[in-house]
Amino acid sequence: MKALRTLLKLAGRDLEILRRALANQIARDSEIKQRIAGHEQTIISEQRLAQRDYESARAYGGYAVAAIQVRRALAGERVLINHEIERLRTLITEAHIETRKFERLIELEEAREKAKCEKRENAELDEFATMRFAKGVGE
């Protein structure tokens, strides 16, 4: 039974590690969303500037190429993060199942011990009653 409790603690620790990793990936995803929104705002401001000024319009072509590359890189990073989030969620589900198995095994072991103790107590009471009855009959 002690081994089961140790395994339960290890499973709980692993589950907590996975939860922290998931929280970290969600935070990274949020950060990427903010960076994408900021990048989109920068593109919009550069487009407005290019519409007003001839020199800015000429330079905007090179900027647009670089901006597209940055946008693709951020989108690619976000896709990777989302895949990792899904992988971690799957692992967390599996870890929950494993943790629950250990909890259930401990519950069953405790129920067996309780039944064993009750059976022993009942046997002792039966023996005591039999001895008492035997004394009463013998007198």
pTM for this one?
Answer: 0.74
Distance (Å, whole) CA 95 – CA 20: 13
Domain boundaries, the chain: 2-109
The pLDDT tens digits for 6-44 are 999 999 999 999 999 999 999 999 999 999 999 999 999
φ/ψ of residue 85, rounded to 5: -60, -45
- CB of 39 closer than 8 Å to CB of 127: no
Dihedrals φ, ψ of 53, to 5°? -125, 135
77-95 pLDDT, tens digit per residue, is: 999 999 999 999 999 999 9
Higher pLDDT, 64 or 139: 64
pLDDT band at 108 (very low <50, low <70, confident <90, very high): very high
Q: State the amino acid at position 60 in one-letter form.
A: Y
- What is the token pair recorded at 113? 């011990």
Q: Where are the beta strands (DSSP E) in 61-124?
A: none
